[in-house]
């Protein structure tokens, strides 16, 4: 029958339309889009590690702090000299003095040129003692003699083995009449004048003359760069002092003060010009240090910390103890201090929310209730296709068989 054949073809057309609609409803690609790289965390605070100069911030803790948005400020000459001293001691123990002398002499010159005398006196004595021992081992008499002279200037208590070495190279006092004094004037006036690491008074002042090969002259004034030079005789020096704006030097001054003290607050206030110039990204400074200041550092040891607000130039809250724990846990505790909240106790930190997709809760609704519209189109197309095939198979020809019975 023709009409039945056309009905079958119509069902086939409906099925094709349904499949085409499903193709347009499906996204062009089924591959998962690559995830974008996680953006760097916003800097919420800067931090200063106020440990002894030879103790470096553990790398895992530094990475954990960076992951939560706390930027640790690097130190200057004081921190570099501490690292050089630690490396030099290892080289001395391994009989590699030739590798240690270069970094040690550079550390010595930077300490003398950049660090206030009282801040760097103890570290300078340790560096000079190691230079003396290495120069003696290598047979460098000139370097050993210079180190011995400057080591005596520090006034440090020396171990017996260093004292024995020093006596072999101690330079004698030159004979003859005393050299004429040197006149020192500064702009601004009132700077402290230091001869051979000993303070003698405020400028303008007459300084006893010296020998440039041996004697040293230092001029220091709070908020200004230090002047370091050889001391001669019969001279008149007019020194213009520049403001101190080197971040490393300012960080060293903060690290050299007792944690949480008024003296450290004064040193932190000197960082204010760096924020006004846009050199530092946050207005809160987190100062932290090991709880134990002596002995060998231990991984994950307890810390002490306090937060300083640069805009108001005052401490925020008291000194807080950070419990021993993993770097991530300690970083979370330190971050909590910068936010003004109390640090979690017990060395534990609140775990960040998981980014994994949550599994849907089981539902009692039937599956087809939540089906999309194109699912119904597909289902209708499949049904129509099956029906068309059946009809075409049943009525595929025009032949009609008529049976008659009596």
pLDDT tens by residue, 195-224: 999 999 999 999 999 999 889 999 999 999
Q: Tokens in use for 331?
A: 């970083």
Domain containing 318: what range? 45-74+247-338
* Residue 388 pLDDT level (bands cut at 50, 70, 90): low
The answer to whether position 378 is within a domain reads yes
pTM to 2 decimal places: 0.72
Indicate if 95 and 158 belong to the same structural domain.
yes
Task: Write down the pLDDT at residue 21.
Answer: 47
Indicate if 92 and 156 belong to the same structural domain.
yes
- The torsion angle over the Cα atoms of residues 62, 66, 288 and 50, rounded to 10 degrees, is 60
Indicate if 90 and 120 belong to the same structural domain.
yes
Residue 356 has pLDDT above 60, yes or no: no
User: What pairs with residue 185 in β-bridges?
Assistant: 238
Indicate if 256 and 334 belong to the same structural domain.
yes
Q: C-alpha angle 112/152/250, rounded to 5°?
A: 25
Task: Write down the pLDDT at residue 353.
Answer: 38
Beta-carbon contacts of 36 under 8 Å, excluding residues fewer than 6 positions away, are none
**What residue ranges in 64-159 does DSSP mark as E strands?**
70-72
d(Cα 81, Cα 73) in Å, to the nearest integer? 16
The answer to whether position 174 is within a domain reads no
| H helix count then E strand count, the chain | 12, 12
Task: Write down the pLDDT at residue 78.
Answer: 94
Q: What share of the chain is helix, strand, coil (3-state, %, to 5)?
A: 45, 15, 40
**Residues in the chain, how many?**
406
Indicate if 318 and 298 belong to the same structural domain.
yes
Within 10 Å of residue 57's Cβ, how many Cβ atoms?
17
Question: Do 70 and 335 touch, CB atoms closer than 8 A?
Answer: yes
* Residue 283 pLDDT level (bands cut at 50, 70, 90): confident
Counting the structural domains of the chain, the total is: 4
109, 138, 169 — which closes off a domain?
Answer: 169
d(Cα 50, Cα 328) in Å, to the nearest integer? 20
DSSP 316-382: EEEEEEEPS--HHHHHHHHHHHHTTSPPPSTT--PPPPP-SPPPPPP--S-GGGG--HHHHHHHHHH
d(Cα 88, Cα 103) in Å, to the nearest integer? 8
The per-residue b/e assignment along 39-53, b for 16 or more CB within 10 angstroms, e otherwise, is eeeeebbbbbbbbeb
| Closest C-alpha among 272, 251, 254 to residue 263 | 254
Indicate if 108 and 159 belong to the same structural domain.
yes
d(Cα 399, Cα 384) in Å, to the nearest integer? 25
Indicate if 160 and 204 belong to the same structural domain.
no
pLDDT tens by residue, 29-83: 444 555 555 566 777 889 999 999 889 999 999 999 999 999 999 999 999 999 9
pLDDT tens by residue, 284-295: 899 999 998 888
Residue 400 has pLDDT above 50, yes or no: no
Question: Do 282 and 71 touch, CB atoms closer than 8 A?
Answer: yes
d(Cα 114, Cα 266) in Å, to the nearest integer? 19
pLDDT tens by residue, 74-125: 999 999 999 999 999 999 999 999 999 999 999 999 999 999 999 999 999 9
d(Cα 46, Cα 189) in Å, to the nearest integer? 34
125, 146, 169 — which closes off a domain?
Answer: 169
């Amino acid at each position: 029958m023709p009409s039945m054949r056309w009905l079958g073809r119509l069902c086939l057309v409906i099925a094709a339309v349904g499949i085409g609609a499903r193709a347009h409803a499906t996204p062009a690609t089924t591959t998962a889009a690559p995830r974008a790289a996680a953006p760097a965390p916003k800097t919420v605070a800067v931090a200063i590690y106020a440990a002894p100069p030879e103790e470096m911030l553990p790398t895992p803790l530094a990475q954990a702090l960076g992951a939560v948005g706390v930027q640790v400020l690097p130190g200057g000459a004081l921190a570099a000299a501490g690292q050089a001293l630690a490396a030099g001691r290892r080289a001395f123990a391994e009989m590699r003095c030739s590798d240690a002398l270069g970094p040690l002499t550079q550390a010595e010159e930077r300490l003398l040129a950049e660090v206030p005398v009282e801040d760097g006196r103890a570290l300078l004595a340790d560096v000079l003692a190691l230079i003396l021992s290495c120069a003696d081992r290598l047979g460098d008499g000139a370097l050993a003699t210079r180190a011995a002279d400057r080591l005596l200037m520090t006034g440090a208590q020396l171990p017996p083995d260093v004292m024995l070495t020093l006596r072999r190279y101690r330079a004698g006092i030159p004979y003859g009449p005393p050299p004429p004094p040197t006149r020192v004037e500064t702009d601004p006036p009132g700077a402290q004048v230091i001869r051979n690491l000993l303070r003698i008074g405020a400028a303008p002042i007459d300084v006893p003359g010296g020998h440039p090969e041996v004697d040293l002259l230092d001029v220091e004034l709070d908020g200004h760069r230090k002047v370091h030079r050889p001391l001669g005789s019969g001279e008149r020096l007019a020194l213009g002092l520049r403001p101190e704006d080197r971040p490393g030097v300012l960080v060293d001054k903060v690290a050299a003060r007792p944690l949480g003290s008024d003296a450290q607050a004064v040193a932190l206030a000197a960082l204010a010009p760096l924020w006004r110039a846009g050199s530092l990204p946050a207005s809160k400074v987190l100062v932290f240090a090991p709880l134990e200041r002596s002995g060998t550092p231990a991984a994950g040891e307890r810390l002490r910390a306090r937060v300083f607000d640069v805009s108001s130039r005052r401490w925020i809250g008291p000194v807080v103890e950070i419990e021993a724990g993993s770097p991530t846990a300690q970083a979370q505790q330190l971050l909590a201090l910068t936010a003004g909240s109390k640090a979690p106790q017990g060395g534990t930190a609140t775990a960040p929310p998981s980014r994994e997709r949550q599994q849907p809760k089981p539902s009692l609704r039937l599956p087809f209730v939540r089906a999309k519209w194109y699912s119904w189109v597909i289902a209708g197309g499949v049904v129509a296709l099956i029906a068309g095939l059946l009809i075409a198979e049943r009525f595929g020809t025009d032949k009609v068989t008529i049976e008659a019975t009596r």
